[in-house]
Each structure stands twice: as structure tokens, then as C-alpha cells.
Amino acid sequence: MAPDTLSFAFDNSYARLPERFYARLDPTPVAAPRLLKLNAALAAELGLDAAALASPAGVEMLAGNRVAPGSLPIALAYAGHQFGNFVPQLGDGRAILLGEVIDRAGRRRDLQLKGSGPTPFSRRGDGRAALGPVLREYLVSEAMAALGIPTTRSLAAVATGEEIWREAPLPGAVLTRVAASHVRVGTFQFFAARGDTEALRLLADHVIERHYPEARTDANPYRALFAAVIARQATLVAGWMLVGFVHGVMNTDNCSVAGETIDYGPCAFMDVYKPDTVFSSIDQGGRYAYANQPRIAHWNLARFGETLLPLLAEDSDAALAMANETLATFQPRYGQALLAGMRRKLGLFTEESGDAALAQELLNAMAEGRADFTATFRALDPESDAAALPRFAATDGYEAWAVKWRERLAHEPRPAAERRAAMHAANPLYIPRNHRVEAVLAAAIEQGDLGPFEDFLAVLSKPFDARPGLEAYAEPPEGQGVYRTFCGT
């Protein structure tokens, strides 16, 4: 391979920030890198040559064994509230930012290796990632992207040829993650906890420049930054709620100021609609349960606002008042985003005051009838209850609701085909259901067979388009058992 085919137009703006923002170090090489999966479409989007990435030199780069020209690898410093407890220093303990590239659309994107070896932030961890969690993040993040939900992306998964030790020996892997940036609420908290206002200002300016350039010309750019981050988080979490996604670890260090879903660990999609659904084995109190997610996002944004206080105004009372006033925009923003999404899911083109209650009544019927969230929404049909009814173990609630729904639909006559197409574009058919995710990971880990993973990825890449032969992928698990995910470490 010619050396210049593996060239990236790196422009590492984060590495130009002061040294206390990160630790400069290269990834730790692995024994036997082997490419498991490359995202050719994403590579093209990034202006990278997929063939060069899949070449031996490319795979060495994706494994951390070779540093590409122009890359300046760094591990980022950050802090964070984990399950409500503040930890003043976390940081990239097993990830390394290779650098930033400008994609074909002119957007700046981070290229990061996850599982690339120990860093000064590793604490007691080994800096590595296991194959299962790497493939899980690949699959779920790509599914989220296809669902139209802001998310980090997965460019590649590489086997390391090394074993790592968790409760048992596991095959190791490295994920190449692509993100709008890796700045988290916890990054701001890192400097706030140290009383480093100069760093806070530099970080805020970096984020404004990179993600919210319109804030620059506001009378108070930092207030505008706060408002913009709030708006993106509100939209993001509404997007999660509308597809039944449970992030699982909404710690402030896993809350991206760019508004992307980040750090896929013990995340999962809910099957049966149950607002208190928790998947994570470590979330004993249900802090990060499905229905709590908007509240937790608000809590995380309050922590973000606190870090901005010294930038908002000279006078601390004025700063606090401004922060609180801005934070108060979260709830209405979230409510609007959720309701707009619910209207799409119910096939409503117009707005009426009873719409939120109508949506809630369906959710109540689903909870009572132990109906599958995704399959039920997809089965809704203005013409017939034939597909929806079998989704409910108890149908009274649904039947009463359907009468009201049809009355509401009668207020806005539309061609049936148009409404059906709109509803199908809002209600996915294929999501990464837990039982399927587990099955494809088991095939990859136990049999070394990536076929089922590839097949599932292809299904999930078009989540709204029904295709013959894929019916089973749309079905909930039989028996709907209790499901637990384990922290992706």
C-alpha cells in the first residue's frame, strides 16, 4: 500500500488547548490485530479510503499499533457525577483521541480508539475493552444513527488477539468511535472543581466555536451556550423516549455537550412498555430507568449550569438567576419534542390540545396490556385493529383508546396511504432487541462467527422499511423474560 493512501487530513483543535486538558500518549500496541468490521459508508462520509483502512497498515492504525501521520493521540481529562456522586477525576481511562478530521460535509469529527490501553486516567482499570461490549456499541450506535437519533458512530472493530480478564478471560477488541466531539458535562466539571475559570472559558469558547457558533454573537455567549446545550439534550432524550431506548448510565461524564448519545454500556431497548424499566445490573435504585431519563437529563444540565456560573456574570446572584432561568427552558423544550414525536407516531399532522393526553392514554393501555412498545406503535392502523389487538394481553384499554384516536383522526382527513407512510416513517419495525443482540454477540464470541452480526447490522440499517424474510427480526422475545445488561467494561 502506498503510504499516502492512509493519510487523514487531521486538524487537532483539542490538542491545541492547554496541556492540563489532556495527557499526551500513544495507544498501547496489541499482539495480533485483526479487522472484524469496517464501516465503509462512514469512512466515505469522513473522506477516508476504506480500502486503505482495511489494509494491514490501516488495521494497525485502528488497533493502536501505528500512529497515522498527523495524528496527535491524547487522553482527555474529565470529571463526573457517577450515580449522583461526584468524582473529581475520571478521564479517558481506556480511550485515546487520535485527532479530528473534517468530513465531506465540512463537519469536524473526532476519531477515538476505545480499548486502546492504559492512560494516566485508568485508575485501577486495564485500559482495555472486551469483544462483546465493542460489538454491542458498534451495533447499537449504528442502529441509533439509522433511527435518526444523534449519536456517536462506529467506524471499526478490531480484535486484539489478546485476552483480557473480567470475571473470566474474554477476547479483547478496540472500537474506533467517531463523535462530533468528546466534550462532556464532566469535562466542564473537571475544571470547575479545580476553580480553573480560565480553563472553563477556553473550554466554553472551544465548544461554542465547534458546536454552537451562533452563540458567539449573542449578548451573553455563555448563556446562549447553556441554552443551546439544553435544547439539544431535550431533543436527544425525547428521541430516546420515542423509541424506547434506555441509556443505562446517564452519568454527567456520559453526557455530551454536543448532544449526541455517547458511551453505550448497559443500554437496551425496552420490549414490553414499562416506564420503570431498568436493564443495568449496577443500577440497583433504578436511577436511570426509562421514565427517569428526562429528569436525569435535567439534573445533569443543572450540574452543567453550575460550572458555567463564573462565566455567566460577575455578580454571583445574577449568574445564578440567569442559570436557573435558562435551565427552566428544558422542560418545555423536552415536552414539545416529545409531543411532536408522539404526534408523528400516531399519524397526526395537526396539533390539538388533547393530543398529549391521547398519547398518554395509549401508553397507559400498553402498560396495562403488557404490550410491546415498538411492535404496538408499528401495528397502529387507522383502518383496522387487526394488527394492534394481538399485541395486548388485555385489550379493553386499547379498544377504548382506538375509538378516541379515530375520532381525532377524523379532524384531519388524509389519504390513507399518505398517513400510513408517515406513520411507518415514525415507528421503526426493526430495533436492536436484547435477545437478538445477545444472540449475535454469542455467535461472534463463542463461535467466532460474525455472520449473524453482519446480518443484524444490515437489518438495523433500514429500521423503518419492511422487507420480506425479516419478519422474525421485528418480533419481541418469546416469554418476555427479565433482562439484565452488564456494564460494558
Active site residues: 253
Query: In angstroms, rounded to a whole number, what is the distance separating the alpha carbons of residues 464 and 420?
Result: 12
Partner whose footprint covers residue 127, from Mg ion, ligand AMP, none (CB < 5 to 8 Å by kind): ligand AMP
Q: How far is CA 388 from the centre of its chain?
A: 29
End-to-end CA distance of the chain: 35
**Going residue by residue from 98 to 127, which x/- string records binding to ligand AMP, judged by CB under 6 A?**
-----------------------xx--xxx
Minimum distance, C-beta of residue 97 to ligand AMP, in the bound complex (Å): 12
Q: Is 489 in the site for ligand AMP (CB under 6 A)?
A: yes
Interaction between residue 88 and ligand AMP (CB under 6 A): no
91 binds, among Mg ion, ligand AMP, none (CB under 5 to 8 A by kind): ligand AMP
Q: Which stretch binds ligand AMP (CB under 6 A): 12-20, 87-95, 149-157, 212-220?
A: 87-95
Choose between 71 and 254: whose C-beta lies nearer to Mg ion: 254
In the complex, least distance from residue 354 CB atom to ligand AMP, rounded to whole angstroms: 41
Residue among 185 and 362 whose Cβ is closer to ligand AMP? 185
Assess contact for 325 and 228: CB atoms under 8 A: no
Instruction: Using the structure block, give the residue that is written with the C-alpha cell 455472520.
Output: 451
Question: Is 169 near ligand AMP (CB under 6 A)?
Answer: no
State in angstroms the smallest separation of the CB of 254 from ligand AMP.
5
Site membership for Mg ion, residue 142 (CB under 5 A): no
Q: Is 143 helix (H, G, I), strand (E, B) or coil?
A: helix
Please tell me whether residue 91 binds ligand AMP under the rule CB under 6 A: yes
How many residues bind Mg ion, per CB under 5 A? Answer: 2
DSSP 333-377: HHHHHHHHHHHHHTT--S--TTHHHHHHHHHHHHHHTT-BHHHHH
**Least distance to ligand AMP, CB of residue 200, Å:** 20
Distance CA(229)–CA(30), nearest Å, equals: 38
211 binds, among Mg ion, ligand AMP, none (CB under 5 to 8 A by kind): none
Compute the least distance from the CB of residue 327 to Mg ion, in Å.
23
Among 60, 92, 100, 271, binds ligand AMP (CB under 6 A): 92
What distance in Å separates the CA atoms of residue 444 and residue 147, rounded to the nearest whole number?
24
Coil, strand or helix at 256: strand
Pair 333, 235: CB distance under 8 Å: yes
Strand partners, 82: 85
Check residue 480 for interaction with ligand AMP (CB under 6 A).
no
CA-to-CA distance for 272 and 270, rounded, in angstroms?
A: 6
Determine contact, residues 9/47, Cβ cutoff 8 Å: yes
* Residue in 234, 60, 250, 260 with CA at minimum distance from that of residue 151: 260
- Report, in Å, the least distance between residue 93 CB and Mg ion: 9
Strands 80-82 and 85-87: antiparallel
DSSP-assigned letter for residue 280: B
Shortest distance in whole angstroms from residue 88 CB to ligand AMP: 12
Does 265 bind ligand AMP (CB under 6 A)? Our answer is: yes
H/E stretch holding 405? helix 396-409
Cβ-based burial of 354 (10 A; exposed 0-12, middle 13-18, buried ≥19): exposed
- Between 38 and 90, whose beta carbon lies closer to ligand AMP? 90
Quick check: 69 binds ligand AMP (CB under 6 A)? no
Q: What's the closest the beta carbon of residue 199 comes to ligand AMP, in angstroms?
A: 19
Nearest to 138 by CA among 37, 240, 270, 44: 37
Question: x/- site string to Mg ion, residues 247 to 266, per CB under 5 A?
Answer: -------x--------x---
Told to check if 94 binds ligand AMP by CB under 6 A, we report yes
Q: Which stretch binds ligand AMP (CB under 6 A): 12-20, 91-99, 235-243, 309-317?
A: 91-99
- Confirm if 202 and 226 have CB atoms less than 8 A apart: no
Q: Per rule CB under 6 A, is residue 249 in the interface with ligand AMP?
A: yes
Q: Which residue of the chain is nearest ligand AMP when measured via CB?
A: 125
> For residue 5, with 0-12 CB atoms within 10 Å meaning exposed, 13-18 middle and 19 or more buried, which class applies?
middle
The site map against Mg ion for 192-231 (x = CB under 5 A) is: ----------------------------------------
Calpha distance 293→267 (Å, rounded): 12
Choose between 254 and 374: whose C-beta lies nearer to ligand AMP. Answer: 254
Residue 90 touching ligand AMP (CB under 6 A): yes
Q: Which parts of 122-220 fold into alpha helices (H)? A: 131-146, 185-193, 197-211
Binding site for ligand AMP (CB under 6 A): 90-94, 121-122, 125-128, 249, 254, 263, 265, 489
Q: Which residues bind Mg ion (CB under 5 A)?
A: 254, 263
